[in-house]
């Protein structure tokens, strides 16, 4: 029994030693709203050529801020996390049908302006904006979602990883544009408005050492159970 515990302990220490911590700081914007105009020419949300006007939608744009460039200016009361060669996930749902695209080499940003929240004399606007774009020989995707106000403060701090939700209120303005298509096919194009948008920072991805410990723990339990059954 002692030898078995020694072997398990050694395996755990080895796993910790070779596992390199690798956490990701995923930031995302999730918008929901109603489509004002749009036709699904590419047929990604149902029948090709169908009108999408009047349907509800939701969309999430996310990427790892550690791979992006960040900029924050207290003078202009704005903050960016952006890049032109990012791994970006765009998940768009219309009428219960989801188009999930994991893009590499994409342009994207999350942006907030917080002039109203900071009560600055200049740039008196609060805004949440997210964007993603990639164009290849086989596929094209562009999307932009946002909400802003010259009257209502959103409670922003100037941190793009701030967890904040904004539900559309009188005095706000919003926008949503989405275009997607495959090579040699007509694109699906959507324009609409937002009912809500949420900027959220996710928790870090589990480190490899933690995953290794968990896996070895399960293996140890299984081995112990087999040994008891053998008796």
**Residue 161 · residue 201 · CB < 8 Å:** yes
pLDDT digits (tens, 9 = 90+) for 65-96: 999 999 999 889 999 999 999 999 999 999 99
What is the pTM for the complete model shown? 0.79
**In the 8-state DSSP scheme, what is residue 206?**
P
Q: Is the pLDDT of residue 127 over 80?
A: yes
Question: What does the pLDDT look like over 31-41, one tens digit per residue?
Answer: 999 999 999 99
Using an 8 Å Cβ cutoff, are 120 and 153 in contact? no
What are the tokens at 1?
A: 């029994």
CA pair distance 75, 112, nearest whole angstrom? 14
């Amino acid at each position: 029994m002692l030898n078995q515990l020694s072997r398990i302990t050694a395996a755990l220490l080895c796993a910790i030693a070779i596992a390199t911590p690798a956490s990701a700081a995923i930031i995302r914007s999730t918008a929901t709203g109603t489509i004002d105009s749009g036709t699904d020419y590419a047929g990604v949300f149902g029948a090709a050529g169908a009108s999408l006007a009047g349907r509800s939608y939701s969309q999430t744009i996310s990427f790892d801020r550690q791979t992006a460039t960040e900029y924050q200016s207290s003078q202009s009361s704005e903050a960016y996390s952006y890049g032109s060669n990012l791994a970006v996930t765009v998940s768009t749902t219309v009428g219960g049908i989801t188009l999930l695209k994991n893009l590499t080499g994409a342009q994207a940003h999350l942006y907030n302006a917080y002039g109203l929240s900071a009560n600055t004399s200049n740039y008196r606007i609060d805004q949440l904006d997210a964007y993603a774009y990639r164009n290849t020989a086989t596929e094209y995707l562009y999307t932009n979602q946002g909400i802003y106000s010259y009257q209502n403060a959103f409670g922003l701090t100037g941190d793009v990883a701030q967890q904040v939700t904004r539900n559309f209120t009188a005095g706000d303005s919003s926008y949503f544009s989405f275009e997607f298509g495959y090579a040699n096919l007509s694109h699906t194009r959507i324009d609409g408005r937002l009912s809500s948008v949420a900027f959220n920072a996710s928790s870090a991805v589990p480190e490899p050492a933690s995953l290794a410990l968990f896996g070895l723990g399960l293996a140890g339990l299984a081995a112990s159970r087999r040994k008891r059954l053998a008796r």
